[in-house]
A and B are shown apart, each in its own frame.
Chain A
Amino acid sequence: KNQVEQSPQSLIILEGKNCTLQCNYTVSPFSNLRWYKQDTGRGPVSLTIMTFSENTKSNGRYTATLDADTKQSSLHITASQLSDSASYICVVSSQYDYKLSFGAGTTVTVRA
């Protein structure tokens, strides 16, 4: 069973609307959690990184939250734009280990 589960698998939203993506993980001991954005035909690019002590972090219209107790994270996209259409991947690191645990991603499609 994968240690990082993302939901939904895909979603479609209208331009200007908000959406929230979910990530649940079982990786332990936890080190940090990153959200990556992957545009079609490109490699993933880091959006945010959160450590154990951080609850919220923003990067422009992207806001990530982390609840280390329940091992859940979310990525909120505000006022979506067509350029937000991409796959969003949750990636969790464990302490003392270079290996990353990847979620399968959520594909977001923003329509005009």
Chain B
Amino acid sequence: ETGVTQTPRHLVMGMTNKKSLKCEQHLGHNAMYWYKQSAKKPLELMFVYSLEERVENNSVPSRFSPECPNSSHLFLHLHTLQPEDSALYLCASSQGGSGRSYEQFFGPGTRLTVL
């Protein structure tokens, strides 16, 4: 295990639903990330939090809303999603954030299906 956990592991939701993805890291890191992974495509960075402040919002639609209440927890709130949002959502954490390149440790991901 990498020390990063995600729940739920699988989620099926309708386009009108509201759901949240949860990520928790047990590594003492101070930066956390949300990525979207679609089939045959590179990982897409969505959001970055460093010391609980959002430092990156990569032109992500407003139907995705992140929340970082403390350095160990990260949420991704979902509402009125589209079928093309179906993907694997990965959370990662690292020792540092902006300005330095540290190894990122990934959680197992949440497989999201939007009907």
Same complex:
yes
Q: How far is the CA of A101 from the CA of B96 in the complex (A)?
A: 17
Known: A9-B40, A103-B42. A98 touches B107 (CB 8 A): no
Q: A24 to chain B: closest CB distance in Å?
A: 14
Residue contact B109 to A97, C-beta cutoff 8 Å: no
Is B47 among interface residues, defined by CB-CB distance under 8 A?
no
Distance from A71 Cβ to chain B, minimum over Cβ atoms (Å): 17
Q: In the bound complex, do residue A46 and residue B103 qualify as a contact, i.e. CB atoms below 8 Å apart?
A: yes
Q: How far is the CB of B80 from chain A (nearest CB, A)?
A: 27
Partner of A98, one of B41, B43, B48: B48
Give the Cβ gap from A67 to chain B, nearest Cβ, in Å: 20
Chain B residue numbers with a CB within 8 Å of A97 are: 99, 101
Mask, B60-94, CB within 8 Å of A = 1, is: 00000000000000000000000000000010101
A41 engages B103 (CB within 8 Å): no
Chain A residues within 8 Å of chain B by Cβ, number = 27
Rounded to whole angstroms, the CA-CA distance of A97 and B101 in the bound complex is 6
The tally of residues in B whose CB lies under 8 Å from a CB in A reads 30
**Cα distance, A4 to B41, chains bound together (Å):** 11
In the complex, identify which listed stretch (A12-20, A57-65, A88-96) lies at the interface while the others stay far away.
A88-96
Taken together as a complex, chains A and B put the C-alpha atoms of A2 and B103 apart, in Å, by: 21
- The answer to whether A32 touches B106 (Cβ under 8 A) is no
Contact call B41/A104, Cβ cutoff below 8 A: yes
The reply to whether A98 and B40 contact each other, CB–CB distance below 8 Å, is: no
Residue contact B4 to A99, C-beta cutoff 8 Å = no
Contact of B101 among A4, A98, A105 (CB under 8 A): A98
B45 contacts chain A at the CB level, 8 A cutoff:
yes
Pair A43/B109 contact, Cβ less than 8 Å = yes
Check if A100 sits within 8 Å of B108, measured CB to CB.
no
Closest 8 CB pairs of A and B: A43-B106, A93-B101, A102-B42, A102-B43, A104-B42, A44-B106, A42-B108, A43-B108
Interface positions of A (Cβ within 8 A of B): 2, 4, 9, 31-32, 34, 41-46, 49, 89, 93-105
Q: Please, could you name 10 A-B residue pairs with CB atoms under 8 Å apart, sorted by A?
A: A34-B103, A41-B109, A42-B109, A43-B106, A44-B90, A44-B106, A95-B101, A98-B98, A99-B56, A103-B42
